[in-house]
Structure 1
Amino acid sequence: MVRKIKTLVVIDNLYTGGVATSLYNYLYFAHELMDIHLLVFDKDSIDKTKVPDNVEIVTPDKGLHILGKNHSRIKQESFLMMLYRLIMIFLARNINGVVSRMILWPFVKRQSGYDLAIAYAQDDSYKSISKGCIDYIIKRVVAKHKSVIVHCDYKNFGGYDLRQINMFKKLNSIICVSDSCKRNFIECFPNLRDKTIVCENFTNVDAIRKLAAEGVSYPTETVNFVSVCRLSEVKGLYRTIEALGELRDNGIVNFTWTIVGNGPEYEKLNCIIKEKQLTSKITLVGNKENPYPYIKHASYFVLPSLHEAAPMVYGEAASLGVPVLSTETCSAIELVQEREIGVVVPNNYDGLLQGLRKLIMNPNSIHIKNNMDFNKFAMIQLKNFIESIKN
């Protein structure tokens, strides 16, 4: 029997979001190829039903909770840990995250004996204590090969600082989740070109289709758009409301838009929808543990973001047979247009307006192939990466 490479996968927490979904999918597809050990700084955030039986869950040192839990959870756990975290935040904001974490590492034991250690997410910014996954595998893990998976568009995500190169240089490889993400990362760090590769996210098609079996009803004989996202300014929701309002004012009313998710902009978005008298057309349904029925029964999935990296929802929507309307962000041309799962429009108000208008006026203009292999490229890339580690 060929020995599997012993791999430690590290992340801060797995509460919500695309990175958490990406990791669960990674475990699902990679666990037969690798001997995976999972270390989550906040172990309580793990949904064990999504972790394969042969993946070993490593219990983290309590000090790592500072990096994995938010402030309110830390306060409930320990007042002293909360004070410790406040000191780290102060140091991070006034110096940088690497320096602030130096006061934590002496109290965190080393993990050793691994062929590969993967930090499953990059830091939020140079002056943040989070996520700390790269710093952890550099300082507290003994492994022959160390890597990070970069899930962001480094040029535009807001956390880029050239000085981060000092941390990335200590890794053996940097894995980006699309070719476009790789190009933008290399533009930021050209000296790391030779270390940077691509391994796309996996899409758990069977699980998604099973979850989507629940019924959700939309109005009949209308074009029903859906978006599933965190309600933040970067998602471009405001300009989409404006565009749909303009279409309504011009007599184009054969549409609805359902927005699934929550976030800091919820109340503001709700107020704007009411002010524009669009409550019969646009509905905020809040967070849903299972958003897939909303996607499955929609006409189109809309992703109007100002910037994105390689969103999981592209593959998720396509796996349910729902075409995507995306603004032109980092990987949109590569993952949507070139793979023929939807349409990409210019990343501005007029681009969204014209794209929405065309889909409403021509509701059956986009179709998705039924025989798509959603994980073909991701599996090839993963196997090539594993072979490179072995060699």
Structure 2
Amino acid sequence: MKKMLVASFDMEVGGVERSLISMLNNFDYENYSIDLMLYSHTGEFMDLLPNQPELLSELQAYKTFRMSIGQIFKSGRLPVGIARLLAKYKASLDQSSENGYKQMQYMWKYSLPFLPKLEGNYDVAISYLWPHYFVADKVKAKTKIAWIHTDFSTVETDVEMDLNMWNKYEYIVAVSEECRNAFINKYPTLAMKVKVIENITSPDIVRTLANETIDNPMARDQRFKIITVARLSHAKGIDQAVKALRLLKDRGYQDIAWYVVGYGGDENLVKELIFENSLQDNFILLGKKTNPYPFIKACDLYVQPSRYEGKAVTVGEAQILAKPVLITNYPTAKSQVDDGHDGCICDLSPEGIANGIEILYNNEPLRNTLSKFCKSESYNNNAELEKLYQLT
């Protein structure tokens, strides 16, 4: 039996975390013994973890990555606090609009000397969430595998610094072909290492959870209901969704309600946009939900207004529930939706989103065709795990 480590941050509500749960639920435990390393044992999805993996004890130094700098100093971890301050300062020298990725890189780089190694030896170690410095530098394993869920053409990173880290891995797993292509365009010397393994989906679990009885305001809403399940962040484009709904109202579409399940750092920005555009009754934030599927089941249309994605887990889950889907034309969109068959792709702008919704709102036969196609697909892709086993 092979001994494997899987490492990630925590189990807060999110698509990456849901895909990790699906992978662990479908793993071959007859041939693999899995240790699960979470930097923080927090998040609503903790209760959804299967029993087979051995959940390792927290290493307190790693919990600091979810703390503010002030909290780190109060906890007495002065070297890590100073490393975080240095990372923040260095990232601030970069004037690009999205320097959060670089700040996270520097945070790990400067903190590494003060972080403990993980005891033990593994046959395989998987780092499931970028940045991958923990498994690269603090774990002993014969084979190391890093997972990428992000379209790297859209994020600013310190390439030279990342290359040092990536070169400590035998394999890099991308969740879609387009995600792989974007990555190797940025890091061409790593092309031979990069393999594609799609997010594991569990259609039976999604359909079962969708039938759970909950207090669902969407079930009582007689309007045309759109839903998005996503973090409230720049990447997910919820601000674009608000502007798109304003455009639709200005075109005379008064009976559209857009619900969003999710939370995140842009919540205040989104609330301000909703207020500025007088959409309090039409654009409804439902907040964090452990089980988003009854809400998806109650919608007339699922919309993903993202600026970029690796491969959006929630879009696949909406398709499992046979919902018509509209996604923006982010660089990896065509790996997610076959336009006109199992969903539609619109221009990546508020106007593009509004136009796409308008077409689907007025074309019920098209919505039915998309739903029918999704019903005919199984969406069971457990065979993807065979690709992982072959790497180990």
Q: Report the residue type matching 1:370 in the other structure.
A: K
Tell me how far 1:151 sits from its aligned partner.
1.0
Task: Work out whether 1:79 is the aligned partner of 2:75.
Answer: yes
> How far off its partner does 1:254 sit?
3.6
Trace 1:355-374 onto structure 2 (pairs within 5 A). Answer: 355-366=356-367, 367-368=370-371, 369-374=374-379
Q: Residue 267 of structure 2 aligns to which amino acid in structure 1?
A: Y
Letter in 2 for 1:70: M
Number of the residue aligned with 2:207: 209
- Name the CA distance, whole Å, in 2 between partners of 1:324 and 1:314: 7
Aligned in 2, Cα 1:218/1:235: closer, same or farther, shift over 3 Å? farther
Distance in 2, Cα, partners of 1:380 & 1:223 = 37
Work out the CA distance in 2 between the residues paired with 1:140 and 1:157: 25
Between the aligned partners of 2:148 and 2:390, the Cα distance in structure 1 is 20
Residue in 2 aligned with 1:129? none
Alignment partner, residue 387 of structure 2: 384
State the match for 1:102 in structure 2: 112
CA distance in structure 2 between the partners assigned to 1:50 and 1:156 by the alignment: 31
Looking at structure 2, the residues matched to 258 and 17 of structure 1 have their Cα atoms a distance apart, in angstroms, of 17
CA distance in 1 between counterparts of 2:252 and 2:119 reads 63
Following the alignment from structure 2 to structure 1, what is the Cα–Cα distance between the partners of residues 244 and 138?
A: 50
Tell me how large the CA RMSD over aligned residues is.
2.5
Change (3 A) 1:146 1:299: same
- Cα distance in 2 between the residues matched to 1:34 and 1:210: 28
Sort the Cα spacing of 1:365 and 1:54 in 2 relative to 1 into closer, same or farther, 3 A: same
Q: Work out whether residues 311 and 335 of structure 2, in 8 Å CA contact, stay in contact via their aligned partners in 1.
A: no
Cα deviation, 1:197-236, whole Å, max 9, x if unaligned, reads 011111222222222222531433x421011122223322
- Kindly indicate whether the alpha-carbon contact (under 8 Å) linking 1:304 and 1:326 is maintained by their aligned counterparts in 2: yes
Structure 2 distance, partners of 1:17, 1:355, is 26
Match of 1:117 among 125, 134, 149: 125
CA contact (8 A) 1:13 1:46 kept: no
Q: Distance in 1 between matches of 2:319 and 2:158?
A: 31
State the one-letter code of the partner of 1:102. Answer: L
> 2:228 is paired with a residue of what secondary structure?
strand
TM-score normalized by structure 2? 0.86
Q: Classify the secondary structure of the residue corresponding to 2:154.
A: coil
In structure 2, the CA distance between the partners of 1:158 and 1:75, relative to structure 1 (3 Å rule), is: same
> Measured at CA, do residues 235 and 45 of structure 1 come closer, stay the same or move farther in structure 2, by a change above 3 Å?
closer
**Percent identity at matched positions?**
26
1:178 corresponding residue in structure 2: 176
Which of 3, 18, 26 is matched with 2:15 structurally?
18
How far apart are 1:36 and its partner, in Å? 1.3
| TM-score (normalizing by structure 1) | 0.86
Unmatched runs of 5 consecutive residues or more in structure 1: 124-133
Aligned to 1:139: 137
Residues 37 and 338 from structure 1, CA distance in 2 versus in 1: closer, same or farther, beyond 3 angstroms? farther
Shift of 1:153: 0.7
Do the aligned partners of 2:72 and 2:80 also contact (CA within 8 Å) in 1? Answer: no
In structure 1, what is the equivalent of residue 324 of structure 2? 323
Amino acid paired to 1:246? L
Is residue 90 from structure 1 mapped to residue 98 from structure 2 by the alignment? no
In the superposition, relative to structure 1, how do residues 339 and 28 fare at CA in structure 2: closer, same or farther (>3 Å)? farther
Q: CA deviation at 1:160?
A: 5.4
Instruction: Give the drift of 1:17.
Output: 1.7
Aligned residues of 1:310 and 1:330 also touching (Cα < 8 A): no
- Residue type of the alignment partner of 2:390: E
TM-aligned CA deviation for residue 140 of structure 1: 2.2
Residue 43, structure 1, aligned to residue 38, structure 2: no
Distance 1:301 1:230, change over 3 A: same
Structure 1 192/343 Cα, relative in aligned 2: closer, same or farther at 3 Å?
same
Equivalence for 1:9: 6
> Is this contact kept in 2: 1:6–1:115, CA < 8 A?
yes
CA distance in 1, matches of 2:109, 2:184: 25
Report the CA distance between 1:8 and its aligned residue.
0.3
Q: Secondary structure, in 3 states, of the residue corresponding to 1:15?
A: coil
